[in-house]
Amino acid sequence: MASTTETTGESVDTRSATTTTQAWSEPGESPLLLLLGSNQDPLSERGVECPGALPEPSDPDLVARALAAKEKLGDRLFILGHHYQREEVIQFADTTGDSFKLAQQAAARPEAEFIVFCGVHFMAESADILTNDDQQVILPDLAAGCSMADMARLDQVEAAWEVLTRLGIADTTIPVSYMNSSADIKSFTGRNGGTICTSSNAAKSLEWAFEQGERVLFLPDQHLGRNTAVRDMGFSLDDCAVFNPRKPNGGLTDDELRNAKMILWKGHCSVHGRFSPDSIDELRNEIPDINIMVHPECKYEVVSKSDYVGSTERIIKQVSEAAPGSAWAIGTELNLVRRLALQNPDKRIMFLDKTVCFCSTMNRIDLPHLVWSLENLAEGRVMNTITVDPETSKWAKVALERMLALPG
Ligand code: 13P
Ligand code: SF4
């Protein structure tokens, strides 16, 4: 979809710059974009609204209240924050990271009684799976889900597996599931000899999978699967077949399924789906030496035109190590791109699209929800715990540990 709104030209305070401070242009707002992912679906991997009264967003004491609750809880508490979180929330994180780093960090904190996850539901579920039974994982707003994770439901994936079984190819197909999936999809993956991947280790996970079998069923992000297979693994676009769970046989012939090296689930991220090759062409015309960096959840046509591709952690590293004065257009969620602009005042940082593109479910975790969670915890009330049942957890952990054991 082409964007129609012009940039506002508003600039943010870029803190103390060591060289010339570059102004940040805020993209324009689109009501449609602000709504992405905000619907409440009972079949969704995310939960429901949180119970109880939330502090008023206008309360001037919110920061002090969060600090006081955090101090009271001390080492019993560990707060994880994904890079897409709002500034008002991320300032309280003990560790920030991409999904891979946050999973590692959750597993590495056995002493913390409470892990407060400032991120989305599938991340908190993974933390619960990787932590001990006596640790509790808390998601400050249960409605913080992921619309991509919702695109693969267990009944749909099991029906797809039956198709592969009928064709006699399930035994030689290895499921590889993106971290952005529900715990029961991760469990299916572990039970069927597969592994999890994140945007920072998808190529390694696919290499591992092709050592185990002849083809991969990649869930649920077709773009990460295609980008990794074609760009990093040397497969062609023709080696990839998109399985549509809403169609019989996935909308594919038996031969298309048998011959595919990558069976890509028809799922995508609505936020990263916004970026277009046209925006890249326009920017390159305007600023010939611009560097384009995008997240691998973007479409293949976008990734193919970009100079760099990487996870959120990788994007931060690349930009922070770039030469002063260099210009960067970044194709990922807006909270992170804004933060990059703040943290790199000596570089020119732009958002790759002209319109606002927040992940609205990541944005559900705001300061009132965080304060509400922390104050309840400090008073001995553990609210919004994310608990994966033991059977699901057992196999999901197998799949997650396969990923964590991949060479670094
Ligand atoms: P990262 O693992 O790169 O942080 O990505 C998570 C995510 O949800 C991207 O949309
Ligand atoms: Fe899910 Fe996309 Fe939001 Fe990431 S940015 S959490 S994939 S909806």
Average pLDDT per consecutive 10 residues, the chain (408 residues; last block may be shorter): 27 29 64 38 52 86 98 97 98 96 93 97 96 96 96 98 98 98 98 97 98 98 98 97 98 98 98 96 97 98 98 98 98 96 97 89 97 97 96 97 92
Tell whether ligand 2 has an atom less than 6 A from the beta carbon of residue 180: yes
Query: Pocket of ligand 1, candidates 83, 95, 99: which has the most ligand atoms within 8 Å of its Cβ, to mutate?
Result: 99
pTM of the full structure: 0.89
Tell whether ligand 2 has an atom less than 6 A from the beta carbon of residue 373: no
Tell whether ligand 2 has an atom less than 6 A from the beta carbon of residue 359: yes
Residues 6+ apart with CB under 8 A from 383: 50, 51, 52, 138, 372, 373, 376, 377
Residue 10 carries which side chain, given as an amino acid letter?
E
CA distance 292 to 380: 48
- Side by side, the strands of the sheet bearing 136-138 are 95-97, 77-82, 114-118, 136-138
Query: Pocket of ligand 1, candidates 309, 312, 318, 330: which has the most ligand atoms within 8 Å of its Cβ, to mutate?
Result: 312
pLDDT at 118: 98
Is residue 35 within 8 Å of residue 53, measured between CB atoms? Answer: no
pLDDT at 116: 98
Tell whether ligand 2 has an atom less than 6 A from the beta carbon of residue 30: no
Tell whether ligand 2 has an atom less than 6 A from the beta carbon of residue 362: yes
Closest alpha carbon to 342 in 14, 26, 11: 14
Is residue 385 within 8 Å of residue 172, measured between CB atoms? Answer: no
What domains can you pick out in the chain, each with its CATH number? Answer: 62-146+363-388 (3.40.50.10800), 149-269 (3.40.50.10800), 272-351 (3.40.50.10800)
Tell whether ligand 2 has an atom less than 6 A from the beta carbon of residue 148: yes
